[in-house]
Amino acid sequence: MNFDNAKTATRLTLPDATDEQIQAAFDAIDQDALHAAEAPLWTHEIWDRTSPINGIPAVDVLDQRNDIPATGDVVIVKRDGGIVLFQPHDAEQPGFAPIVDGAAVGAQMAAQSVTESVDSQIIGLVADAIG
């Protein structure tokens, strides 16, 4: 996360925080360590269309959702073993286009999730430091 984003986010909850306070709190954070701790928690996989999703039988998931193409990969992103994201179609294409390379899509989604999680932690740490 860059300082400008941290400053903008911090000012949403601490509007009276000075640039100097935000900068000092931001500079004290080891972003690499946060990322190194968070990244291993995130994994991705291709759903086999037979395993239950959060206890719901696969046949019910397939019957109840109209956004799962008949072909292509369905990507699951997990944090610490729990499903966080279920991506049944290519989010970059209009409609419900099948995902062609689920491994690449899953890796990108997991990496983005790590970044978002670390950014959220940074914002919280900056706010906590300023009080």
pTM confidence score:
0.90
8 pLDDT band (50/70/90 cuts)? Answer: very high
C-alpha–C-alpha distance, residues 82 and 87, integer Å: 15
pLDDT digits (tens, 9 = 90+) for 43-79: 999 999 999 999 999 999 999 999 999 999 999 999 9
% of the chain exceeding 90 in pLDDT: 97
Number of domains in the chain: 1
Q: Name the strands in the sheet holding 75-79, side by side, starting at the edge strand that comes first in the sequence.
A: 42-46, 75-79, 82-87
| pLDDT-derived band at 131, boundaries 50, 70, 90 | confident
State both tokens at 1.
């996360």
Structural domain including 80 reads 3-130
How far does the chain reach from its first CA to its final CA, in angstroms?
Answer: 20
Give the Cβ contact number of residue 37 at 10 Å.
Answer: 12
Give the 3-state DSSP-derived string for 30-85, with helices as H, strands as E and coil as C.
Answer: CHHHHHHHHHHHEEEEECCCCCCECCECHHHHHHHCCCCCCCCECEEEEECCEEEE
Cα separation, 25 vs 126, in Å, equals 5
The pLDDT tens digits of the residues spanning 83-98 come to 999 999 999 999 999 9
